[in-house]
Amino acid sequence: MSISMYHAAVPPFVRTLGSLSAILDKALAHADARKIDPSVFLSSRLYPDMYPLLKQVQIASDNAKGSAARLAGIAPPVFEDTEVTFADLKERIKKTIDFLQTLTPQQIDGSEGRDIKLVFPSITLEFTGMDYLLTFAQPNVYFHASMAYAILRHNGVEVGKADFLGGV
């Protein structure tokens, strides 16, 4: 039995984003309990040339909604990067999950061979749907979600592997 493209993309993205939202709740509770300005966490980064927490969450959202939309053959919704608070980030995650949940297996299954082309200022990447999902989309969502987790853990927020995996 093979796994469907839909089931390899949408449910894992929804779960990862749900876990990310729960981790943000823990971060906000940590900040409140210790009287830390939450913006300290939002602007924290692991290294000076890495993106801060706020941007990591935005990129995880963008990759999840963008990749699922491309696999479905539709334009990804555009979310402006206007978030400045934990509540804003949680709302963005919610909008992303809401969008993902509008997609159906019928839209995504069969996209294994679909041509996916990503154009960036300095490079154009071309994939088949399967390669795109497995070598670009999933790793990007997980990378940016794990960077958000790592930034918060580095700043003392008590999160563990089960928080990242969610529902375990």
Which tokens belong to 78?
A: 């555009």
Q: How far apart are CA 122 and CA 14, in angstroms?
A: 30
pLDDT above 70 covers what percent of the chain? 98
At the top level of CATH, which class does the domain 5-161 belong to?
Answer: mainly alpha
Dihedral angle over CA of 146, 149, 154, 158, nearest 10: -140
Domain boundaries, the chain: 5-161
Q: Cα dist. 146→62, 65, 116 in Å?
A: 15, 17, 25
Q: What is the pLDDT of residue 1?
A: 59
Which three-class secondary structure state does DSSP give residue 127? strand
Task: Answer yes or no: is pLDDT of 90 > 80.
Answer: yes
pLDDT band at 109 (very low <50, low <70, confident <90, very high): very high
- Kindly report the average pLDDT of the chain as a whole number: 96
Task: Answer yes or no: is pLDDT of 17 > 70.
Answer: yes
Q: What is the pLDDT of residue 28?
A: 97
Q: 76-91: buried (b, 16+ CB within 10 Å) or exposed (e) per residue? A: beebeeebeebeebbe
Task: Find the mean pLDDT for residues 23-31.
Answer: 97
Task: Answer yes or no: is pLDDT of 117 > 70.
Answer: yes
Task: Find the mean pLDDT for residues 19-47.
Answer: 97
Q: What is the pLDDT of residue 167?
A: 67
Q: How far apart are CA 139 and CA 141, in angstroms?
A: 6
